[in-house]
A = this chain, B = another copy of it.
Amino acid sequence: MLKYQQIANQIEQFIEENQLQQGEKLPILENLMNQYNASKSTIVKALDLLEKKGIIFQVRGSGTFVRRKDRKGYISLLSNQGFKKDLDQFEITTKVMDLQVVKPTKEVAENLNILSDQDVYHVKRIRYIHGQTLCVEESYYNKEIVTYLNKEIVTESIFHYIQEGLGLKVGFSDMYMQMGKLNDEEARLLGLIAGEPKMSAETIFFLSSGKPFDFSKITYNYQQAQFFIQGTNM
């Protein structure tokens, strides 16, 4: 982790520990430089990162202010970190339904930008929140990039493993959401009734090099899943 990222984490922690509210002003640049013993450009980079993450906002000529407005229990759709981080306050558990190496369907190959004879890991999981179904998740990983998975890994956070274990740098993601009605299979897995509301999302995750490595389809339990989306300044 680079110095500006460390400082960004420290500032975020400072905001949390002191329970700073929306609109509260952070110390001026010079004070932050002293406090964190860092150059101006490092502090500027740390603040830019925090702004990107929606933690603060900067007003030219006026200063830096706290933005945080999380409502508890909402899944943030801008973070690429998976659920674990957002739902820290909850007990999330996972049941692995399937884990195997397969050849991709045409749809999977297209979204991962690979050939149909390359290998992918297929992982199907049900996630629970406080014992209630949260979602059914079906993921395909390009095995050339995500070279190894086992049951223990996919029971925990795959993203944590990809970053810490494999040392890969996750870049960005494209997510497509749709609504509809649950079919029999989806309803059975979620413990709901066919025809009830369904929210499904397809997400492609890219390494910071721009290579797609994960294509996931998630079907959410409409009674449990709620989302928080921060739009940033353009």
Contact of A210 among B23, B54, B80, B179 (CB under 8 A): B23
Instruction: Check B197 against A179 for contact (C-beta < 8 Å).
Output: yes
Give Cα A17 to B69, complex, Å: 39
Give Cα A177 to B196, complex, Å: 18
Give the nearest-CB partner of A80 in chain B.
Answer: B231
- Decide yes or no: A179 and B199 within 8 Å by CB, A57-B171, A173-B230 being known contacts: yes
Instruction: Check A222 against B174 for contact (C-beta < 8 Å).
Output: no
In the complex, whether A78 has a CB less than 8 A from a CB of chain B is yes
Instruction: Check A173 against B231 for contact (C-beta < 8 Å).
Output: yes
A residues contacting the other copy or chain, number (CB 8 A): 53
CB under 8 Å from chain B, chain A span 189-215: 196-199, 204, 206, 208-210
Instruction: Check A230 against B57 for contact (C-beta < 8 Å).
Output: no
Contact of A65 among B57, B174, B210 (CB under 8 A): B210
Instruction: Check B62 against A209 for contact (C-beta < 8 Å).
Output: yes
Instruction: Check B180 against A197 for contact (C-beta < 8 Å).
Output: yes
Instruction: Check B210 against A57 for contact (C-beta < 8 Å).
Output: yes
In the complex, whether A83 has a CB less than 8 A from a CB of chain B is no
In the complex, whether A19 has a CB less than 8 A from a CB of chain B is no
Give Cα A177 to B179, complex, Å: 12
Interface residues of A (CB under 8 A from B): 22-23, 49, 52-54, 57, 59, 62, 65, 67, 69, 71, 74, 77-81, 113, 171-181, 196-199, 204, 206, 208-210, 220, 222-223, 225-234
Q: Could you pull out 29 A-B pairs where Cβ atoms are within 8 angstroms?
A: A23-B113, A49-B234, A54-B172, A57-B171, A57-B172, A57-B210, A69-B204, A71-B176, A77-B77, A78-B78, A78-B232, A79-B234, A80-B234, A172-B230, A172-B233, A174-B228, A174-B229, A174-B230, A175-B228, A175-B230, A175-B231, A176-B227, A179-B197, A179-B220, A181-B196, A196-B197, A197-B198, A197-B222, A208-B233
Considering the complex of A and B, which 6 residue pairs feature the smallest CB-CB distances, nearest first? A197-B197, A179-B222, A173-B231, A175-B229, A177-B227, A178-B226
